């Protein structure tokens, strides 16, 4: 790829903030401290988790950098940054979350593989760029197309970084064409994060952002876009990031029986307390995030200080001081919701947070929820 190069070693990595908790040095994987994570609704770039699978690519000539759009289309096209900057510019506030978020806690229950993460392998940013739906229109694919005349059904994003899981090949992933061409799905080719050009760790000069979907599909350092009949056959689509029932373990796993994970599931996490924390009897602030995936919003967050027997509702907000309303036009549907409640602690106990989202706004009776027993309190 002219303009963008992929180093084979880690000698040219970008600078990073020293307060990040490093889970793996090479490739670089790091998250902020959980107490820092919910200090602000928009996560500053320095404190945003970084999830790489190889050395971070380098732009050597932005003028020559371009994205190849190819595959099942009549007129393949090369898009330069100047072409992408010319398209309508959109800003979308979206929470990006690694599917491995909270893997360290999962490994207490079952044997899991992959980098260990606490509860902060996610962040909320304002992503700015062109809509993928507009880009695909430039190559003759109209909005809201799920199958093209040539049989294209999936949009594959390919990078240039060298990943060991791909045997030294690039990171890649795909999403359905129907999602890619739906302007309301807000899939972006983003060149800015929080109002600044993307930095190297987050995909400079151009990355995909698929709101509401596990971070693994938001390919960084975009090199080409491929229109395919089948979903991407890469490692991270076919042999990782899938969900299996409890009867499956590493000895009897059959990857082809499951679909790749896309929307992330509803969840909440307490960030103002550590997993095991000592405190004096009295008032304790319980603060954290709740996020639904798929743009479904958070209907309610409840907190229990008796291990889940009784519950109180926490206040939810995105903008400080303004209560969050799930389907309000001013609420950021792709973004997390922060929650807070002050509770009275009188004895050693378990604090539990529970986020609830509404499965469909038409059928308000169907609830989905996730309960997390996360924090154990001991009185001192």
Ligand X SMILES: Nc1nc2c(c(=O)[nH]1)N[C@H]1C(S)=C(S)[C@@H](COP(=O)(O)O)O[C@H]1N2
Partner whose binding site includes residue 324, from Mo ion, ligand X, none (CB under 5 to 8 Å by kind): none
102 binds, among ligand X, Mo ion, none (CB under 5 to 8 A by kind): none
Which of Mo ion, ligand X, none has residue 220 at its interface (CB below 5 to 8 Å by kind)? ligand X
Q: Please, what is the Cα angle at 218 between 156 and 297, to 5 degrees? A: 120
Question: How many chain residues are in contact with ligand X, going by CB under 6 A?
Answer: 19
Least distance CB 221 / ligand X (angstroms) = 5
CA atoms within 13 A on the CB side of 124: 21
Q: 86-145: which residues touch ligand X (CB under 6 A)?
A: 96, 98
Nearer to Mo ion, 207 or 300 (CB): 207
- Residues near Mo ion, by CB under 5 A: 51, 98, 215-216
Q: Which is nearer to Mo ion, 55 or 100 (CB)?
A: 100
The angle formed by the CA atoms of residues 285, 291 and 213, to the nearest 5 degrees, is 155
Among 6, 20, 45, 49, binds ligand X (CB under 6 A): 49
> Which residue's CB is nearer to ligand X, number 258 or number 376?
258
Cα Rg for the chain, rounded, in angstroms?
Answer: 21
Q: Which of 305, 261, 247, 304 is nearest to 281 (CA)?
A: 305
Query: How far is it, in rounded angstroms, from Cα 343 to Cα 207?
Result: 42
Burial of 106 (0-12, 13-18, 19+ CB in 10 A): middle
Q: How far apart are CA 190 and CA 197, in angstroms?
A: 9
Give the Cα separation of 156 and 224 in Å (integer). 8
Which of ligand X, Mo ion, none has residue 293 at its interface (CB below 5 to 8 Å by kind)? none
117/339 with CB nearer Mo ion: 117
Give which of 289, 295, 259 is closest to 370, Cα–Cα.
Answer: 289
Q: Which two tokens stand for residue 154?
A: 């999936």
Instruction: Say whether residue 162 binds ligand X (CB under 6 A).
Output: no
Smallest distance from ligand X to CB 313, Å: 31
With CB under 6 A as the contact rule, the residue among 205, 211, 212, 215 that binds ligand X is 215
Q: Under the rule (CB under 6 A), what is the footprint of ligand X?
A: 48-53, 96, 98, 159, 161, 171, 201-202, 215-216, 218-221
């Amino acid at each position: 790829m002219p303009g963008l190069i992929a180093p084979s070693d880690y000698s040219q990595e970008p600078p990073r903030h020293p307060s990040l908790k490093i889970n793996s040095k090479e490739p670089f994987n790091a998250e902020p401290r959980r107490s820092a994570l919910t200090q602000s609704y928009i996560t500053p770039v320095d404190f945003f988790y970084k999830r790489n699978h190889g050395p971070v690519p380098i732009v050597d000539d932005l003028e020559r950098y371009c994205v190849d759009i190819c595959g099942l289309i009549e007129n393949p096209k090369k898009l330069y940054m100047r072409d992408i900057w010319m398209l309508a510019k959109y800003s979308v506030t979206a929470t990006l979350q690694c599917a491995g978020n909270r893997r360290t806690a999962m490994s207490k229950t079952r044997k899991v593989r992959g980098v260990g993460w606490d509860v902060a392998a996610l962040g909320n940013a304002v992503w700015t760029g062109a809509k993928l739906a507009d880009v695909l229109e430039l190559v003759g694919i109209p909005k809201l197309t799920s199958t093209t005349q040539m049989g294209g059904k999936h949009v594959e994003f390919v990078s240039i970084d060298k990943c060991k899981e791909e045997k030294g090949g690039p990171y890649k992933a795909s999403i359905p064409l129907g999602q890619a061409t739906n302007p309301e799905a807000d899939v972006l080719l983003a060149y800015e994060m929080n109002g600044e050009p993307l930095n190297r760790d987050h995909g400079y000069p151009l990355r995909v952002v698929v709101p509401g979907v596990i971070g693994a599909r938001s390919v960084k350092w975009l090199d080409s876009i491929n229109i395919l009949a089948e979903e991407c056959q890469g490692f991270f689509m076919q042999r990782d990031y899938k969900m299996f029932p409890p009867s499956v373990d590493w000895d009897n796993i059959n990857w082809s029986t499951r679909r790749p994970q896309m929307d992330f599931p509803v969840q909440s996490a307490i960030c103002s307390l550590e997993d095991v924390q000592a405190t004096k009897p009295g008032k304790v602030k319980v603060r954290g995030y709740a996020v639904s995936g798929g743009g479904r919003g958070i209907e309610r967050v409840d907190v229990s200080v008796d291990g889940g027997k009784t519950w109180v509702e926490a206040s939810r907000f995105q903008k400080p001081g303004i209560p969050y309303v799930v389907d309000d036009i001013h609420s950021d549907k792709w973004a997390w919701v922060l929650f807070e409640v002050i509770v009275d602690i009188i004895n050693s106990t378990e604090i539990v947070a529970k986020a609830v989202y509404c499965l469909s706004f038409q059928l308000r009776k169907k609830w989905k929820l996730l309960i997390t027993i996360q924090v154990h309190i001991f009185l001192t």
